[in-house]
Amino acid sequence: MSGDWRVTVDRDRCIGSGMCTGVAPEHFVLVDGKSTATVDTTAPAETVTDAADFCPAEAITVRSVTDGQLIAPEQ
């Protein structure tokens, strides 16, 4: 899949488990106990989709910047 990805974190859903920061520390940080994406868009990276797939609160969404297609989490 080509093109950049948009990474968003629903801070209302986030429970602050830190799973994303462990899986993809270059893409996520905890701020006030909740996950925050370090950038709005990123080049495709397996660690980003892993973070979304492993998030216990399903608070992370990864979409194609080009067409908005959902990339992660897997449905």
Ranges of each domain in the chain:
5-66
Give the Å distances, CA to CA, from 67 to 2, 3, 6: 11, 10, 11
State the greatest distance between any 2 C-alpha atoms of the chain, in Å, as a whole number: 34
Tell whether domain 5-66 is in CATH 3.30.70.20: yes
Strands 5-9 and 60-64: antiparallel
Pull the structure tokens for residue 73: 């989490």
Nearest one of 74, 69, 14, 21 to 49, comparing CA atoms? 74
Per-residue pLDDT band for 1 (boundaries 50, 70, 90) equals: very low
Alpha helices in 1-75, H assignment, sequence order: 19-23, 46-54
Average pLDDT over residues 26-42: 96
Digit-coded pLDDT (tens) for 45-69: 999 999 999 999 999 999 999 999 9
Residue 13 in contact with residue 70, Cβ under 8 Å? no
The mean of the pLDDT values for the chain is 95
- Confidence category of residue 42, pLDDT binned at 50, 70, 90: very high
Residue 27 has pLDDT above 80, yes or no: yes
